[in-house]
Structure 1
Amino acid sequence: MVKFMEGEKNYKNSKAKITLGIFSILLISIVYVIYWLFFDTTPFLENKSPDKIHKIEIVEKGHNLFTSTQIDIHFKIHDKTQYEREMDIANFLEDHTTSQYHITWLNDDEVQITMEYENQTKTLEYNFVTRRLSLSENV
């Protein structure tokens, strides 16, 4: 009788351990998917000024499956971020590619980024000296 009770106790303990293991794996998987969908960042495009002091870095943020993706644009001086701008991408059917971005350095301190999306064109101008940012959108 004592052996039977010990066997039943071991069975309950192993069943609880298996349930806890499955729950842990499921929880870790859900957390990873949420991180991958909304928080994972991927370097997308980089461009340096003619004097190589200033740099533009465009980073994709998340992997949204059904909505437009977001990007972060980092304006850097000597590889230190001076200003950061988060923007939504206006693509719903087309893929997001580097050919949609045209970066033009007006001089060593000013840059113009033209973003040609599916139904919209956005033009962003940034001055590294004055830290002034201007955005225009054409639908």
Structure 2
Amino acid sequence: MEGFIFATIGAGLAVGLPALGSAIGSGIAGASASGVIAEKKEMFVTGLIFEALPQTAVIFGFVIAVMIVGGIKEDLSLLAGIKMLGAGIAMGIAGLTPVAQASVLAAGIGSTARAPATKVNNIVYAAIPDLSVIMGFVVAFLLISG
């Protein structure tokens, strides 16, 4: 029974924290994009791309949460439950990355508005923080499947 409790908490953390990080990141990027399109309406699609980038964390978190939930049984051992909790914590903390990513996105939207040729460069800059999310995902995946 204890394993079941730990695994359930892990699933909640795996999706809940990245959802929070993604919401904050998309909110900040969206606010910046809204300011830009007030002057340059043609920047809407670019702003939308920048606003969507923080959502990758919650997608990875959702996958880990589904994997955890898929492995939960009422008679789950304590060790297995703790491993699933560890996976949820790893994914959850890594999933907060979009909060910091938002500052790169906000600056990138402004930069792209002033110099459209910098769009790809700014998307690359904004994608770099996602490496932390990917590492958290891999560790969580290994904890669940190993």
- Shared fold per TM-score greater than 0.5: no
TM-score (norm 2): 0.28
TM-score (norm 1): 0.29
Q: Kindly indicate whether structure 1 or structure 2 has the higher relative contact order, using CA contacts under 8 Å at least 6 residues apart.
A: 2
Structure showing greater Rg: 1
